[in-house]
Amino acid sequence: MTCVKLQKNLGQFFLIITALTAFFAILFYTDNKYQTPPPYGKSGVINLNTKDLERGNPIFLIDGWLLTDNNVKNKPTYIGEFSNLQRGRLSIPPHGQACYQLTLHYDGIPKTVSVDFPQLSSQYTISLDGVQYANGTGNARITFLLTPSSHILSVKTLSKTGYYSGMYFPPSLSTDKTIQKTGNIQYFAYALAFLLPLTLAAFTVFLWQTEGNLSRWFGLLCICYSVYMFRYFVFLFSMPVAPYWFFVQNLALYCLCFSIIKLTMLASDTEHSYPWIKIVLAALPVALLLLCVLIPVVPTAVFIHGKLMDIYYIFTFCTSVFFAVQGIKTKSWESRFTLAGCVLFGEGLLTNLFFSNQFEPIRFFWQFEWCGLFLVLLFASMMVLRSNRILQENNTLTNHLEEQVKIRTTEVTQLLEERKAFFSDMAHDLKAPVFATQSFITAIRKRGVGVDKELQGYLDQAEAKQWEMARRLQGLSTINELDKIEKKWERISLCGMLTEIYAIYHGEAEVQSIHFSVEPPEHDAFLMSQPEKLNILFENLIYNALKATPENGHITITANTKNNKIFLAVTDNGCGIPQDELPHIFQRFYVGRNNKATGTGLGLYIVHTIVTELGGTIHVQSTVNKGTTFIMEFPQAI
């Protein structure tokens, strides 16, 4: 089974290599300045006619130039043969002045033509027949009337920094329409190649929380590629940084290679297995940047930089392949993408090494730039699939969690129902023996036979404990009755509820000589509740107030509304609650010092439970010997 899978993977990679090789072969013969048909220049002269100017593609002025600099004079050369003025001789400086000259011998009708000079990294001065047409840095284009005669085209350059010097990219000659058409195609191609990775980098910002380092390094890869491709616009618009863009371009390349290795390591889960890789990854770019700085002053720095850059490419390729293979061994599905990315990078590396002086695109990109774009898209596909996979896993986990929560909720609900039933049965079954015990104690007191002071003390203690048990059983019964309330919630009028409360309790208050009053809100409001629970809530609060309030005291229930909230307050001027007891009064079975004889410790606990079930809150304000106020807040029903 493993052999079959390996053969399948190898077949896929072979298919990628074949398709990419075929694609580059097509580009080599259809989008390559060095493969265009005649005319070709020779010995400083290029012969042109009307038909040459009327064909669909421009004429590329590659061959036949005569070069003059500090070391040679009128040396025949072709554009792109050497990247700088050293021309392979390490002992001479790579920078300085140079003059390229080509005679345009035209035999045809007069025609207005343009010559486009791409990516002149040196300072230039362009002249025709001794008349200066353009100067500056970056791209240049001159337009003139080509008449039947010989015209001397001269390009003078002055370079001080950078890897390239002189004129390295072939100029093109044709009608302005043809030049503009070709330039527009390349402009939009580079704009797409610049903006697409930036868009993907922006997209990865949203993945940082889920994807972590993988998304960050993919974002860096996209940014580095966009920065590298931006060089086209730097020279196209002759930006002031054009002479120094070489440093930025190379830094982007170094970081791009670094990102490829990091992505491969992360995808194969081997990031922490080989710490020495990080040292090499940091050392090589630093050495390359140092060489970039030394190029203007050290003649051999150009050659060393070029060779070291090739080594860095090869190191990136070999290291990425190694980690991709490690990932396949550990069954990391992302490693199939990273290995395919290694194939793309390796293909670009080979074309860059063996066809650097034989290919320059007419309309689109260099082979290495195509590989970079494919690499970005490949890793983007991996990130999308990885994100989808994480989302699917999250959905599966969520569904599983929901099922588990549902099962546990059912189990807990069943357990609570069983516990409620148990307490209900227990409260019911214990009532008989508790009250029977009281009957026995009463009978012993009535007969009085053999009851001395010591036995009387024991009987008093037993009776007190019996009454405490009876009160607690009564509290449990109340809680059980509260749980049995299952009626639907109703929309209850606040004014109507206060009127009903007054009707129920003002009589009992008058019997105790206590003034009882209610103060409804200015405008009626409504709350959602079960009426029985509200009755139990106010019953506990009002009876507590009646017990705490002396004769001629007063109890007031006030209500008002604010910001879609209902505020209810029960206030008395009774004995109050000590400050040290306030934090505990809503706890189950807590009885204050003043209620030891009659309290169950469940009344205020029930009040707090009901208020919470209704979605409200309750707090208390109290001062000893001055009174107590319970303030409740509920959401107002619409």
pLDDT score at 555: 94
**225 located within any domain:** yes
**pLDDT greater than 50 at residue 13:** yes
- How many domains in the chain? 4
Q: Residue 97 domain-assigned?
A: yes
Q: Which residues contact 179 (CB under 8 A, 6 or more apart)?
A: 58, 114, 116, 141, 172
Q: Are residues 248 and 361 in the same domain?
A: yes
What percentage of residues in the chain have a pLDDT greater than 90?
Answer: 21
Q: Is the per-residue pLDDT at 20 higher than 80?
A: no
pLDDT of res. 554 = 94
% residues pLDDT > 70 (the chain): 78
Same domain? For 451 and 532 the reply is no
In a shared domain, residues 26 and 45? no
Specify whether 209 is located in the same domain as 150. no
Q: Is residue 570 part of a domain?
A: yes
**22 and 49 inside one domain:** no
Bridge partners (DSSP) listed for residue 140: 117
Which is higher by pLDDT, 246 or 45? Answer: 45
On whether the pTM is more than 0.85, the answer is: no
Q: Based on the domain organization, do 476 and 571 belong to the same domain?
A: no
Q: Average pLDDT for residues 76-104, to the nearest whole number?
A: 85
Q: Please say if the pLDDT value at position 364 is more than 70.
A: yes
Residue 205 CA to residue 212 CA, distance in Å, equals 10
Poorest-pLDDT segment among 183-192, 210-219, 293-302: 210-219
CATH number at residue 163: 2.60.120.260
- Pair (21, 98) in one structural domain: no
Distance CA 142, CA 128 (A): 9
Domain boundary among 483, 508, 528: 483
Within this chain, do residues 59 and 91 fall inside the same structural domain, yes or no?
yes
Question: How confident is residue 1, by pLDDT bands cut at 50, 70 and 90?
Answer: very low
| Angle ∠(501,502,508) on CA atoms, nearest 5 | 100
If asked whether residues 445 and 371 sit together in one domain, one would say no
Span 91-134, pLDDT tens digits: 788 888 999 999 999 998 999 999 999 988 888 999 999 999 99
Q: What is the CATH number of the domain that holds 616?
A: 3.30.565.10
Do both 25 and 46 map to the same domain?
no
Across all residues in the chain, what is the average pLDDT? Answer: 80
> Quick check: is 400 in a domain?
no
pLDDT of residue 497: 92
Are residues 198 and 257 both part of a single domain? yes
* Whether pLDDT at 25 is above 80: yes
Asked, for residue 412, whether it belongs to a domain, the answer is no
148, 174, 200 — which closes off a domain? 174
Domain-embedded: residue 403: no
Query: Residue 50 carries which side chain, given as an amino acid letter?
Result: T
Question: What DSSP string describes 180-247?
Answer: HHHHHHHHHHHHHHHHHHHHHHHHHHTTHHHHTHHHHHHHHHHHHHHHHHTHHHHHHTT-TTGGGHHH
Q: Which domain holds residue 163?
A: 39-174
Which of 83-87, 165-169, 256-260 is predicted most confidently? 165-169
**Based on the domain organization, do 210 and 300 belong to the same domain?**
yes
Domain termination residue (choose one: 353, 380, 395) = 395
Whether the predicted pLDDT of 428 surpasses 60: no
**Among 358, 359, 385, residue whose Cα is nearest residue 370:** 359
Q: Classify burial at 45, counting beta carbons within 10 Å of its beta carbon; exposed 0-12, middle 13-18, buried 19 or more.
A: middle
Contact 107, 47 (CB under 8 A): yes
Does 376 reside within a domain?
Answer: yes
Q: Is residue 334 part of a domain?
A: yes
Backbone torsion region of residue 21, taken as left when φ is above 0, otherwise alpha when ψ lies between -120 and 50, otherwise beta:
alpha
By CB atoms closer than 10 A (0-12, 13-18, 19+), residue 486 is exposed
